[in-house]
Amino acid sequence: MDGKLADFLTESTLELGAARVAPGDGHWRFGLDEDGIGWLVLDRKDASVNTISDAVLRELDTHLQTIEAELPRALVVRSGKAQGFAMGADIDALADMDGAAARRLLTEAHGVFDRLEGLSCPTVAVVHGPALGAGFELALACDYRIAIDGATFGLPEVRLGLHPGLGGTVRLPELIEPISAMQMMLTGSAAHTKKARKLGIADLVVEERHLRAAIAGILRGEVDKRGRGLMARAFALSSARALAATRMRREAQKVAPQDHYPAPHALIDIWAQHGDDRKAMRQAEIASFAGLLQTDTSRNLIRAFFLRRKLKQAAVDAGDIRDVHVVGAGVMGAEIAAWIAMQGMRVTVSDPDDEALGAMIRQAMKICKDTHKNALETRDTLDRLMPDPMGHGVARADLVIEVGPEKPELKAQIFADLGARMKKGAILASNTSSLRLSDFLEHVPAKARFAGLHFFNPVSKIPLVEVVSHDKTGKETRARLLAFCTAIGRLPVAVADAPGYLVNRALMPYLLEALLLMDEGIEKERIDRAALNFGMPMGPVTLADQVGLDICLDVAESLTKSLNTPIAEIPAMLREKVAAGHLGRKSGQGFYDWTDGTPKPETSNSIGDELTDRLVLPMLNACAECVRTSVVGSNDEADAAMIFATGFAPFRGGPLRYARNRGHDEVHQRLLELEKAHGPRFKPDAYWRNDKTT
């Protein structure tokens, strides 16, 4: 905790002790200071972060009634949590709510925020850390917002298939330039301190120690509110809003098609219709939010939110791994090492190629830049990332990650060499994509502490890591690796040492089917469009080019060799491209020409279901097989892994949720039809007939 903040909170707690109110064990504390200023501190009991629940709102209402009866000179609303102001609404409570209950709850909540807004003394929200969703909406109901340096404001509801529901759609466009307000709500993007000040969200930015002086300044009238809302007047005319809305709809349609993501479009509609009428806008906000909450999109996106949380919670504690050594600084090793160093751990890296070690440092600088690290954070990251050609770090490391070339003899040699040098109790993990861990057991130092850590490329953008156990991997090793992944901000899913684990096992049939369709003469743009229309973030042909056609061929060959069921024939075109050195993006030429940047898929919407089913059903079938054969522990984990590793249409809830919604019988039947038409690679897995799980 920031020292000054800690002081303040203790100080205010002391003040509160001398004050009159405060139901002792509630979510809020209230007290008056010696200047007659009321401090209302949100500090949710039994939780480390603040979220806005029904109980929090009810209690706030009770406090406000008392405050109304005896007004302080000003009311300051702030958080008692070191972590930040408030993270948003209590999503657990929202998840199962029906439309009528949601409308009732929102209407009551609006009443509470209106009461805060209507107080006849000045109200000031003091925000440190994140003020998101309903937390930001609480701050918006105050007259002023003071940002403590480092504060962040955002309305990310759109990521859950919703839009703000506690007055944000009304108050933000009143406070700042309406188009910027709409952009924030449509994209769910956050405004950090400086930007928040520039936009007019924060009236002042101060350090904690100047807070009292800042509040005194506000009370002396030094912060002028009169200029606010000037820009809103330009959009008081419905014709001006209609024009802007047309542009917004066009942009929204490109990134979030209305069929898949109704929320942004609903938000644009209510603003275009009611943007000049506060009362109507509020009613429309409530009705629209309650309606969106019932959509499959929102239910599935909320489920994805829960799945992410569940994967994070797979780690029972913070873990014990501090020092890491990475063997191999190629495409993956460099990314893995840089990412781990960025998360605060010490990393040494060995590679016989000095060039690779130099490139790793450049890659680390690039990742820091891409993830908006400042100069100090970048320097600290580089301090922790140590090229170590002789591998001295191996002896000190709690975890050694092998990321050498995908060649069995070389890996066996690397493992044997490490075995002699690793410290007692350290874990050895391999990032291999296609080799079986169990084939290396005779070469590793300690079987129980040997496992897989399968990262995806690029590590900084794909949050999933498969934590792979072979038969002899110890439970403790798995638990330590799950905790390690969580500690470095990645999402772990435990999988078994089966060919392709889960993600490549499921993704490969999809990629290969796309290439087989091309072999049949269907244009690649059309194939990619089918997948995009389904909701995948990228078409399969583009994805194959991105991954590298040589890597696709390697993984496909190794999968076909090791699986009993045929996953697909390997398309002739793939072999031809690789033989010609056309490896995809990295060589400038693959199925697409990459010399002018990322290719654009065609925009046609008229793609038949047959094409989509041929691409998507093999992926579903593979996930089903992985659950049935316990490669992955549950439907939920399979769905989460596919969403967070491949971007599988999150609004569909993942492959197995999609299959369940479509009906297992129908999926089974379609696979039978495809098997008849195209061969045994479509043979339905036994899962569809047996699965009784939900």
Cβ-contact 119, 67 below 8 angstroms: yes
Closest approach, Cβ 407 to ligand NAD, in A, equals 8
Closer CB to ligand NAD, 350 or 589, in the complex = 350
Edge-first strand order for the sheet with 190-192 is 130-132, 152-154, 190-192
Closest approach, Cβ 414 to ligand NAD, in A, equals 5
Task: Enumerate residues 6+ apart whose C-beta is below 8 A from 388.
Answer: 325, 348, 349, 350
Part of the chain binding ligand NAD (CB under 6 A), chosen from 171-179, 324-332, 567-575, 676-684:
324-332
- Asked if residue 497 binds ligand NAD (CB under 6 A), the reply is no
- Give the bridge partners for 386, in sequence order: 348
Q: Which residue has the tokens 């009321």?
A: 38
Task: Enumerate residues 6+ apart whose C-beta is below 8 A from 461.
Answer: none
From 363, 431, 460, 486, residue interacting with ligand NAD (rule: CB under 6 A): 431
Closest approach, Cβ 481 to ligand NAD, in A, equals 16
Part of the chain binding ligand NAD (CB under 6 A), chosen from 35-43, 196-204, 375-383, 405-413:
405-413
- Asked if residue 404 binds ligand NAD (CB under 6 A), the reply is yes
Closer CB to ligand NAD, 418 or 620, in the complex = 418
Q: Which residue has the tokens 């093999």?
A: 618
Instruction: Give CA–CA dist 541/561, Å, rounded.
Output: 23
Catalytic residue among 137, 157, 402, 466: 466
Closer CB to ligand NAD, 244 or 361, in the complex = 361
Residue 584 — φ and ψ, nearest 5°?
Answer: 110, -150
From 433, 469, 533, 621, residue interacting with ligand NAD (rule: CB under 6 A): 433
- Asked if residue 331 binds ligand NAD (CB under 6 A), the reply is yes
Q: Which residue has the tokens 């709850």?
A: 105
From 160, 356, 400, 517, residue interacting with ligand NAD (rule: CB under 6 A): 356
Of the candidates 254, 292, 270, the one whose C-alpha atom is nearest the C-alpha of residue 157 is 292
Closest approach, Cβ 193 to ligand NAD, in A, equals 37
Residue type, 521: G
* The pair of three-digit structure tokens given for residue 165, joined into one six-digit string: 């529901």
Catalytic residue among 454, 470, 582, 668: 454
Tell me whether residue 192 is one of the annotated catalytic residues.
no
- Asked if residue 495 binds ligand NAD (CB under 6 A), the reply is no
From the number of C-beta atoms within 10 Å of its C-beta (0-12, 13-18, 19+), residue 354 rates as: exposed
Eight-class DSSP state of 424? T
Eight-class DSSP state of 586? G
Closest approach, Cβ 577 to ligand NAD, in A, equals 17
Tell me whether residue 454 is one of the annotated catalytic residues.
yes
Query: By three-state DSSP, how is residue 343 classified?
Result: coil
Closest approach, Cβ 348 to ligand NAD, in A, equals 12
Residue type, 336: I
Part of the chain binding ligand NAD (CB under 6 A), chosen from 273-281, 321-329, 442-450, 652-660:
321-329
CB atoms within 10 A of CB 311: 25
Closer CB to ligand NAD, 39 or 415, in the complex = 415
Eight-class DSSP state of 410? H
Determine the straight-line distance between the first and last CA of the chain, rounded to whole angstroms.
42
Cβ-contact 260, 297 below 8 angstroms: yes
From 94, 315, 340, 403, residue interacting with ligand NAD (rule: CB under 6 A): 403
Part of the chain binding ligand NAD (CB under 6 A), chosen from 250-258, 404-412, 505-513, 538-546:
404-412
Residue type, 122: P
From 118, 352, 537, 679, residue interacting with ligand NAD (rule: CB under 6 A): 352
Closer CB to ligand NAD, 90 or 351, in the complex = 351
Closer CB to ligand NAD, 32 or 394, in the complex = 394
Closest approach, Cβ 330 to ligand NAD, in A, equals 2
Tell me whether residue 68 is one of the annotated catalytic residues.
no
Task: Enumerate residues 6+ apart whose C-beta is below 8 A from 563.
Answer: 499, 500
Closer CB to ligand NAD, 262 or 333, in the complex = 333
> Phi-psi category of 549—alpha, beta or left, where left has phi over 0 and alpha has psi -120 to 50?
alpha
From the number of C-beta atoms within 10 Å of its C-beta (0-12, 13-18, 19+), residue 608 rates as: exposed
- Asked if residue 328 binds ligand NAD (CB under 6 A), the reply is yes
CA distances from 642 to 219, 491, 650, 655 (A): 53, 12, 9, 7
Measured on CA atoms in the order 687, 688, 692, 694, is the torsion positive or negative?
A: positive
From 276, 406, 550, 602, residue interacting with ligand NAD (rule: CB under 6 A): 406
Closest approach, Cβ 630 to ligand NAD, in A, equals 23
- Asked if residue 358 binds ligand NAD (CB under 6 A), the reply is no
- Asked if residue 419 binds ligand NAD (CB under 6 A), the reply is no
- Asked if residue 16 binds ligand NAD (CB under 6 A), the reply is no
- Asked if residue 141 binds ligand NAD (CB under 6 A), the reply is no
- Asked if residue 326 binds ligand NAD (CB under 6 A), the reply is no
Element (H, E) at 427: strand 427-430
Tell me whether residue 504 is one of the annotated catalytic residues.
yes
Eight-class DSSP state of 228? T
From 50, 51, 432, 533, residue interacting with ligand NAD (rule: CB under 6 A): 432
| Residue of this chain nearest to ligand NAD (CB atom) | 330
- DSSP, residue by residue, 124-166: EEEE-SEEETHHHHHHHTSSEEEEETT-EEE-GGGGGT----S
- Asked if residue 468 binds ligand NAD (CB under 6 A), the reply is no
How many chain residues are in contact with ligand NAD, going by CB under 6 A? 23
Eight-class DSSP state of 630? T
Closer CB to ligand NAD, 258 or 457, in the complex = 457
Edge-first strand order for the sheet with 385-387 is 385-387, 346-350, 323-327, 399-402, 427-430, 450-455, 464-469, 491-496
Q: Which residues, 518 to 557, sit near ligand NAD by CB under 6 A? A: 551
Q: Which residue has the tokens 């802007």?
A: 244
Closer CB to ligand NAD, 266 or 641, in the complex = 641
Catalytic residue among 434, 469, 504, 635: 504
- Asked if residue 327 binds ligand NAD (CB under 6 A), the reply is yes
From 350, 546, 558, 635, residue interacting with ligand NAD (rule: CB under 6 A): 350
Part of the chain binding ligand NAD (CB under 6 A), chosen from 121-129, 326-334, 521-529, 671-679:
326-334
- Asked if residue 330 binds ligand NAD (CB under 6 A), the reply is yes
Part of the chain binding ligand NAD (CB under 6 A), chosen from 236-244, 279-287, 406-414, 533-541:
406-414
Part of the chain binding ligand NAD (CB under 6 A), chosen from 37-45, 150-158, 401-409, 662-670:
401-409
Eight-class DSSP state of 589? B
- Asked if residue 463 binds ligand NAD (CB under 6 A), the reply is no
Catalytic residue among 433, 434, 558, 621: 433
- Asked if residue 601 binds ligand NAD (CB under 6 A), the reply is no
Q: How many residues does the chain have?
A: 694
CB under 8 A, 24+ apart: contacts of 352-358? 352/389, 353/329, 354/389, 356/328, 356/329, 356/330, 357/329, 357/387, 357/389, 358/387
Part of the chain binding ligand NAD (CB under 6 A), chosen from 278-286, 313-321, 397-405, 668-676:
397-405
From 333, 618, 654, 684, residue interacting with ligand NAD (rule: CB under 6 A): 333
Q: Would you please indicate which residues are annotated as catalytic (active-site) residues?
A: 433, 454, 466, 504
The residue ranges that bind ligand NAD (CB under 6 A) are 327-333, 350-353, 356, 403-406, 410, 414, 431-433, 457, 551
